[in-house]
Structure 1
């Protein structure tokens, strides 16, 4: 079974390559590192970082140096994090491109380098280019995201995939390669009135011109669906009693709303196919990250059986306190067309998920028994060094 640890490029920059890769190889005993290449905004506490305990990550920043020629003439392009410039100012010249540094170190140590890439959850690009963001039924743009039906967004995705090839990346862990719901973690996101699950679901659907055109092509009356969705949301925003009334989406507009969501799923699947083919053509593989798990991603456009036919691997979160709960989570994928051999699973060796090396080892053993070929551990900078030791102990049991 292959193993790696997810990490930020800032972990590498702050600790230096010797300490960073030494901890991965000697303490965690893993065979690879999964380094974030583009990441969303965050504020985190870093237990063992030698330079800082708390750090803010910029919205939609890139942690590699984009090739200007690859992005010439494009509006949507990755912006390098200011952390790269800070590292250069501090005299760490090689730190100006963490991926180049990581690639060299990984190759020298016989380790694999994966790129953990957040594609469409990008506040920076959404605010800079609102016309590329999803549009709800009222014409409001969800500026923390990019719409997967937009041609410029799709071009951005495939170009970003291709950028990783020059670093000798083995696999791209594709996070956020799909639509997102209404609640997606924007700073001070507020809902003072109870909206109810139906209104929240409907407010998360995209009705931009590209999504409506895709639905029309699939035989769905997109404009009529938008009007129906507007009316349904307004009714639920107006009256709290209506907001609490249950309703199945496949019952709205005689099933047309559900058909519209299905068309959105086809958009996501076709984008994943394009991204996977781009990666394969450059000697890499693309892993589609489905954090929620089987049966929970329909509104985000995640159709697991269809995705399993176009991407070589799906990755999910095995976050659970007991080994049997991990087994249940992973086994459920087989019922949705994803065989264990096409899965990668992320485990957490700390916090509420794990209290001992034996607990973690039992979870790893279950993944082996099920035939899962890859396990990853979250997250290098966010765990104590003792949790890295726990990984090493678990892999050795």
Structure 2
């Protein structure tokens, strides 16, 4: 029995695909969540990017390709009337609405339903509407994503958030609500010459018309920044020794490039705030997923100080072998103004991160002691059933 001195076990959920539910059926799917994992919620992907995955315990298939930028719910036609950017239901769900099924079954079983939504990493919409994608300094488009500064993209995000309220969703886990950079990603990406991380970083900065207008409005000379970045990239692409040179963004001249990146971050923060406001107005809460953690997301437009004021919760990936490494990542967010009480952490129970059930239980205990209120486990369909048993062991402990 837990004593009064012990902090409560964090509320727990398992991330899953709608196809896991359809392939296994409601009884098998929810039975594993409640009887084996012992969680109180399911986090179902509502819009997801392209992928090829292996499913160890799926009764119908071992390998599946996921469609680029597909929706795993039935979009409300009236909500999207006249819009260029709109979600398209995945072919894999046929005539079903997995979110309606999940909502009914979760309610019947007393579970909460969360929506795991990939917002801007969307190959389908990027290829269909290139003008809505980020553009590098030379005007080349990153067609695997959408630009958070584009007005139509921002309207798409707000409407997509609102769609989830129809299903009684408790929380939206907002993945990919930011820029991504060069390497995130496309099938068979090729870099036969070594570019170096700095060259890749510069190639990932967006100079679309909307980002440049935003920067100009904030007093940053966008065209001058683009010219400097073009010159630096040409120099680095021409010679291998130049590509290997380390530098900071400020070294490109008087801090204006760094100021431009900061202006891009403002677009991400304001979009996250708008999405969170829509969610709250409809009785939902939004968590912003910052997978990399402090010190890794500046070029992606992730300003933790700003996001801490804009959204109610930050979620991060606790993908590490040791409980100490997971605790340190949470502590790093605290140093950026995000206390553990406003965080959620995703853990992997598989062998990649855990050498056994006790390892996972120790991580859950560490998060509990830090005051983290929610923990999620990745990923229902991609783990073996004995990994799901590890979740149950960790939570019972």
Shorter-chain TM-score bucket reads: over 0.9
Residues 144, 185 of structure 2: 8 Å contact kept: no
Partner of 2:86: helix, strand, or coil?
Answer: coil
Distance 2:172 2:337 in 1: 21
TM-score by length of 2: 0.97
Q: Match of 1:306?
A: 306
Aligned twin of 1:77: 86
> 2:3 corresponds to which residue?
none
Question: Residue 134 of structure 1 aligns with which residue?
Answer: 134
The alignment partner of 2:21 has SS state of helix
Q: Give the Å deviation of 1:247.
A: 1.1
2:354 alignment counterpart: 354
1-side partners of 2:390 and 2:249: how far apart? Answer: 45
* Partner SS, residue 273 of structure 1: helix
The aligned counterpart of 2:152 is: 152
Local SS of the residue matching 1:219:
coil
Q: TM-score, normalised by structure 1?
A: 0.97
Describe how 1:124-273 pairs up with structure 2 within 5 A. 124-273=124-273
Correspondence 1:295 to 2:295:
yes
Number of the residue aligned with 1:45: 54
Q: Distance in 2 between matches of 1:343 and 1:235?
A: 42
Query: Structure 1: 5+ residue runs without aligned partners?
Result: 89-95
Partners of 1:223 and 1:176 in 2: CA distance? 27
| Cα drift, residue 385 of structure 1 | 0.5
User: Is the 8 Å Cα contact of residues 180 and 300 (structure 2) preserved in structure 1?
Assistant: yes
Structure 1 residue 163: deviation in Å?
A: 0.1
* Residue in structure 1 matched with residue 109 of structure 2 by the alignment: 109
For residue 286 of structure 1, give the secondary structure of its aligned residue in structure 2: strand
What is the DSSP-based 3-state SS (H/G/I as helix, E as strand, rest coil) of the residue aligned with 1:113? strand
Asked if residue 384 in structure 1 is aligned to residue 393 in structure 2, the reply is: no
Whole-Å Cα distance in 2 between the matches of residues 394 and 270 of structure 1? 37
Greater Cα offset, 52-61 or 185-194: 185-194
1:9: which partner in 2?
18
1:93 aligned residue:
none
Say which SS state the counterpart of residue 351 (structure 1) adopts: coil
Does the Cα contact within 8 Å between 2:16 and 2:42 map onto a contact in 1?
yes
Note the C-alpha offset of 1:185.
2.6
d(CA) in 2 for partners of 1:244 and 1:23?
Answer: 50
CA displacement, residues 190-218 of structure 1 (integer Å, 9 cap, x when unaligned)? 11111122211110000000000000011
CA contact (8 A) 2:316 2:346 kept: yes
Distance (whole Å) between structure 1 residues aligned to residue 253 and residue 87 of structure 2: 40
What is the alpha-carbon distance in structure 1 between the residues aligned to residue 323 and residue 243 of structure 2?
39
Q: Which residue of 8, 25, 30 corresponds with 1:21?
A: 30
Matched residues, number = 388
Q: Distance in 1 between matches of 2:382 and 2:12?
A: 18
Tell me by how many angstroms 1:145 deviates: 0.4
The CA deviation at 1:337 is 1.1
Shift of 1:351: 2.3
Task: Output the CA distance in 1 between the equivalents of 2:20 and 2:172.
Answer: 19
Q: Secondary structure at the match of 2:352?
A: helix
Q: Which range is displaced more, 247-256 or 135-144?
A: 247-256
In structure 1, C-alpha distance between the alignment counterparts of 2:168 and 2:197, rounded to whole Å: 44
Task: Return the alpha-carbon distance in structure 1 between the equivalents of residues 386 and 241 of structure 2.
Answer: 51
In 2, the alpha carbon distance for the partners of 1:295 and 1:288 equals 16
Runs of 4+ aligned structure 1 residues displaced above 4 Å come to: none
Report if the CA contact (8 A) 2:49-2:67 is conserved. Answer: yes
Alignment partner of 1:121 is 2:121 = yes
